[in-house]
Structure 1
Amino acid sequence: MGAMNVVMTVISLLLVEVAGRKTLLLSGFAGMFVCTIGLCVANIYAQVSWVSYLCIALVILFVVMFAVGPGSIPWFLVTELFNQSARPAATSVAVTVNWTANFIVGLSFLPLSSALGPNVFIIFAVLQLLFILFISFKVPETKNKTVEEITAMFRQQM
């Protein structure tokens, strides 16, 4: 899994200038959403012999989609959404939020899994859908844009 994550992150670094940040971010979250829903459905049919192979494939595809989108792209956005003087603080906040979210997921998954069983993935699917909607409507495409152009786009949204 780790090697797949590294390989796909490198590929996303090559794709980011071609496809754009927002496109990769949305594609990554959409793929993760499909995989998560697939895992929810697969858990219903866990007694079927081949479903375990499907689950493995879905988890691998989930890692691929994570690496292509939300695993790598937010770090581009942090440096592109803020001017030079605000970047260190913005990066610090982004790193803190990232690791806090990772900690919360790691800490809460087993208790939630015990309480909800196979339905635990629905929580993550809902969050992924909310992220897709937020990114679609609120996050600008920063490819080939200056900080001033990005700031102007945010002002137009308000």
Structure 2
Amino acid sequence: MVISTALSLFIVDKLGRKPLLIYSIGGQVLPLIGLAFSDSTILSMVCVFLYVFAFGIGLGPVFWLYIPEVFPLQARAIGMGIITFSQYTLNAIFSATFLPLLSSLGYNVFLIYSGLSVIACFYIFAKTPETKGKTLEEIEAVWRQKAREKGVAMDKGA
């Protein structure tokens, strides 16, 4: 995790946040499928290593960099509070449901998580803006343009 997170520091501005998130989450799919079907301890350990590496190079660090960039300055504090609360709440739900799901579904539970990762890749590709090389003002302008296209009024101060 430390090595992949350190690598992320050097490549996030070269690749961009959006591609790195997609590569990271996409990179978690095959290890999760491997965990679902593996009957080898060694293969399972390799899958866990690859999963953690993929998480550490993108989703782990980039998430906390990307989220504040997409909020306008006036909404950043409350937005980060809501996102942080939501993220830790979902972590708690995952922790509380993993063992019961593992007991009832067996290792097939990893197929559910791999499917969710695929959905996340498509969502990020389709719905999130790239922030690489853009100022916070330019990112805010993207959201304002999208709001105008949808006919939604945005307060100048928000």
- Give the TM-score, by structure 2 length: 0.86
Q: Kindly provide the amino acid, as one letter, of the partner of residue 12 in structure 1.
A: S
Please give the secondary structure, in 2, of the residue aligned with 1:145.
Answer: coil
Q: How does 1:23-38 map to 2 (within 5 A)?
A: 23-38=19-34
Runs (4+) off by over 2 Å: 146-158
What is the match of residue 153 of structure 2? none
Which residue of the other structure, out of 105, 112, 115, is the alignment partner of 1:126? Answer: 115
Q: Kindly provide the amino acid, as one letter, of the partner of residue 68 in structure 1.
A: I
Q: Percent identity?
A: 36
Residue deviations 1:1-25, cap 9 Å, x none? xxxx122212212211111101110
Which residue of the other structure, out of 64, 67, 76, is the alignment partner of 2:65? Answer: 76
How far apart are 1:119 and its partner, in Å?
0.7
How far apart are 1:31 and its partner, in Å?
0.6
Distance 1:86 1:152 in 2: 14
User: How many matched pairs?
Assistant: 147
- The two structures, once aligned, show a CA RMSD in angstroms of 1.5
How far apart are 1:146 and its partner, in Å?
2.3
Q: How does 1:1-16 map to 2 (within 5 A)?
A: 5-16=1-12
Structure 1 segments unaligned to the other structure (5+ residues): none
What is the match of residue 37 of structure 2? 41
Please give the secondary structure, in 2, of the residue aligned with 1:22.
Answer: helix
Q: Does 1:93 align with 2:82?
A: yes
Which stretch has the larger CA shift, 134-143 or 69-78?
Answer: 69-78
